[in-house]
Structure 1
Amino acid sequence: MFGDVFISVDSASIDQLRKNYTHIAEHLLICIIHELSGAYGVSNQNLDADDTELSGSIDIALKMCQREDVVEKTLRIVALVFGLPGNIMAAIVSLSLDRTTTSLFLVALSMGDFATIVLRTSTGNTHVLVYEVLKVTIGFFPNSVLLLICFERYLAVCHPYRMKHWLTIRAAQLMVAALVLLFFFVFLSCVFLAQSKLRAPTKKLLFSGILFGLPCPFIVVFSVLTIRALRSMRKSYYMDNAKLQMWCKVESSITFMIVTSSAVFLTLNGPLFVVCLICFLVETFSDQVDVELRSRMERLISLAYWLTFLHHVANFYVYILGPKRFRIHFTLLLEKLRPSGWTRDTTKTPEISQHAKSEPVTSGLHET
């Protein structure tokens, strides 16, 4: 759960609870300790399973953790069924396209989403702080790649003739490499932040701000500028040019894909930042926070955190199944993977292949 990063759970506390609760799994014991520490004010060093009043609190915390565990397991199954195959196919389809900055960024995005799903669906080493921080911060990389894609679309639409000088394949590769180094810097900073003595609401707000607050403003700005540029081009008198009309049609479909992905990003990542901000304000300006209110806020933060996880599952369906040219390449990929014994309509394959070759991924005005 999202709160595991902000509480130090030592092995002595787990062993102390395991004496009377041998049937409970270790990750549920950690969740119970977190619930007792956050909602009931019980410190890790004062856990006593023989205490009658504390035993009742443990039973209540266990029921909450079990419900949350069912939700997390369901989301893990959904992610493994839809997310992993989808991102693998997205990378294969992107590699089969022409070698452009768009296809390069799509490969980086699919690989980042794949790594995020693998780490967040794993359940091992839940008591290792560095591992928990990595599970939280891994989403920073694909979110930042989405920012690079929005920036690339902005250059392709607003500065099409200068893009081949400003954003080449080599420059895109260097940007992805620099983004990997930036991720490791953010990861180490978050490890230091998790080990600091800051209050838990402050840490959660800073974590969510790093994951959501940094890429969000730039994604919104580039998306708005790109949409405005396309709308002004459609209304201009230059649209009587057939080549410009084709270019605007190609760029519009790809830009619509980017805007849709940005909207999905804001919808699924925004609640985490908003809930953490509300939690921070309540904890800061309230002298004493009600136990039930604090428990509800913890549940909301955990739910909002798992909403951000669904964003990495949905990227494949937005990028690959959105524009027509990507759907064509995806259909060709499925045709190659289909067993030879299956029957298929071979009359449509040449038409699809010819259409896929005649319609490039990016405009010829800015091929790199």
Structure 2
Amino acid sequence: MRAWQLEDFGLDNLRLAERPTPTPGAGQILVKVSAVSLNFRDKAIVDGVYDPEKIPKNLIPVNDTAGVVAEVGPGVSEWHIGDRVMSHFYSHWLDGAPARDEPDWQLGGPIDGGLAEYMILEANSAVPTPANLTDEQAATLPIAALTAWFSLVEYGKLQPGQTVLVQGTGGVSLFAVQIATALGARVIATSSSDDKLEKVAALGAGDLINYRTTPDWAERVRELTDGQGVDQVIEVVAGEGLNQSVHATKAAGHISLVGFLGGQTAPLDVLPMLYSQAAIRGIAVGHRRAFLDMNEFIEKQGLDPVIDTVYAFEDAIKAYEHLARGAFGKIVIRVAD
């Protein structure tokens, strides 16, 4: 099979190679990959800034995969050849609280991912594809959509009429806007681009803040919520901005820390945090059971993932470069028709 492999850190070292097509072992399935989508994590792995000591040489990157079962291993009865299937990022986290070693079982690093013509999945962690989505659309779900769902619903228990602050227009944020809107919540969105804010409004965001023209955006959030702040924040930036998120959150509200675009360290002003009694929780995607719940919701609501551009398999480098420049919606790579 053809596969993109990371021979060393740096995008110049991501190269297309020939590798043996793997054979599924007991409890495994072989998936013919249709499409994958890129996340900020995928760029960070290639750049060598995401747990570099855990990334093996010649890794096949990218978790978010959709495809068709091509072969089943011994003992597998829940999947059949031709079934449509998606990858689940934490291949051992099926439900409940995460184990300490869940990061050791992440697809796309340290375990080989889906930027190849075929990939191996554990049968009990693979997820059926929603019937209303194409494989290209489904490939956007495993990290970005599930992170948004886990933050808002599994952790935040979002209720109709509550208010959510969504930062930026990356994949997690756009799914958060769509999910929160479908659940009857009010959405406040921030971005540095008025053009992108207009697009977010079309997805359901009711209040828009350009944080470049309004640098004290947290105070503006308080104004929009009668001084109270929002029930939930989807925190994708972290860094210095985490203190503004605390200020923007209502008393005893929830901050879901899902990204680190502003840096991997965050100086926190402790006294405002104590006074707010807000809860900050790290959200590292979610478990398989929540994935199944989310897919049922997506089918019922007819939710359409936002895709910016679809690249050919041979143009994977261009896809990564597009991700680095920024996009509105997901960057997808079509592997096979």
TM score, norm. by length of structure 2: 0.26
Higher relative contact order (CA 8 A, sep 6+): 1
- Rg larger for: 1
TM score, norm. by length of structure 1: 0.24
Higher strand share: 2
Higher helix share: 1
